[in-house]
Amino acid sequence: MIKGLTLIRPVHSPAQFDELVSFFSALGFEPGRGWDEPPRKQGAATKGRPFLAPLGNLQFIDGALPTLKTDLLVEVTSLDAVHQVASHWLETNTGADAAKTRITSIEETHWQSRLFTVQPVPDFSIAFWERQEPLRGKPIAIEGDLSAHEMKFAIVVARWNAVITDRLLQGALDCLLRSGGRREAIEVVRVPGSWEIPAAARQLAQTRRFDAIITLGCLIRGETAHYEAIYNEVARGIGQSQQDTGVPHAFGVLTCENLEQALDRAGLKSGNKGFEAAAAAIEMASLHMKIAAAPAETRA
């Protein structure tokens, strides 16, 4: 019968509202359905923006926690990456000096976890924490993070069906920038059609200047002679470039029956595959670095 918990947090001003929405968005919280209403009486709320997490609980405790004073506890799986994103957000939004006073370093807790606290706005403190890995500190699995901080990307985008591929490009850029990437660290390369993507992707990967390559194109069966042959060759070429160069390549080439289906996958009904390809590129670039850095025993 019970469906969910909602923790309401009134804010002090519209500016603070925008700052908190920006901070929670930057950290990758899933936005819920918000609401806006005309003011009904003096001081009444006019808008709300929910943020969702896969799990939540309301916890009553008997007395105070000895070391922890916070308004909200958020459990995460990649604490170091979250710390990086939070620091980056603070530096961008509050300046480098203020940022230092509003975030703590990561510390160990008495409950086998690591934790830091951050104040995105005054009077609101959030503690992010991660359980220490069991098995004597060995991770159960090596996983890539979703932080694009300090990473470099090349995006190869086909001009053919530009009405679709431009949307895929916007989706990819949106994902990279929202994940902590910098616009100057993203190179966009345009090619005539999907057929040309593998050659450009390989050349870019061979420069070793990029942590990952994102490939974006759109093949529409109805409009493409030898559709299957072209699609197979494009997929094979991108895959082979990835295997040969060792640089992660994300596959964002749509293969659709018709234009309507392509539009759905470029930001309408079925999400934006450019955004998804960029997210995969970030994760694989991070995983690539972690596997390279992990001691041999972790990999056994």
Catalytic residues: 226
The strand pair at 153-158 and 113-121 is best described as: unpaired
Element (H, E) at 75: strand 72-75
**Which lies closer to ligand DLZ via its Cβ, residue 119 or residue 194?**
194
Q: Tokens for 156?
A: 């190869």
Token reading at 7 = 């923790």
Q: Which stretch binds ligand DLZ (CB under 6 A): 48-56, 115-123, 218-226, 292-300?
A: 218-226
What span, in angstroms and rounded, lies between the C-alpha atoms of 30 and 85?
16
Residues 7-36 within binding reach of ligand DLZ (CB under 6 A): none
Considering only the stretches 132-140, 215-223, 240-248, 274-282, report the one whose residues sit in contact with ligand DLZ under the rule CB under 6 A.
215-223
Torsion of CA 219, 170, 271, 22, to 10 degrees: 170
205 binds ligand DLZ (CB under 6 A): no
Residue 251 binding ligand DLZ, by CB under 6 A: no
Stretch that binds ligand DLZ, among 78-86, 112-120, 180-188, 189-197 (CB under 6 A): 189-197
Query: Does 196 contact ligand DLZ by CB under 6 A?
Result: yes
Tokens of 157: 């985008």
Task: Tell whether residue 155 is a contact of ligand DLZ (CB under 6 A).
Answer: no
Which amino acid, one-letter code, is at 36? D
Structure tokens at 164: 């679709």
Q: Judged by CB under 6 A, which of 89, 129, 195, 275 binds ligand DLZ?
A: 195
Sign of the CA dihedral 171, 280, 191, 187?
A: positive
Q: What's at 159, amino acid-wise?
A: R
Rounded Cα gap, residues 263 and 27, in angstroms: 28
In this chain, which residue has its C-beta nearest to ligand DLZ?
Answer: 193
The residue written with tokens 């005309």 in the block is 38
Should residue 231 be labelled a site residue for ligand DLZ when binding is judged by CB under 6 A? no
Told to check if 161 binds ligand DLZ by CB under 6 A, we report: yes
Interface pick for ligand DLZ out of 103, 158, 176, 238 (rule CB under 6 A): 158
Q: Judged by CB under 6 A, does residue 237 bind ligand DLZ?
A: no
User: Exactly one of 85, 146, 216, 220 binds ligand DLZ (CB under 6 A); which one?
Assistant: 220
CA-closest candidate to residue 220, choices 158, 155, 156: 158
Positions touching ligand DLZ (CB under 6 A) are 158, 160-161, 192-196, 217-220, 223-225
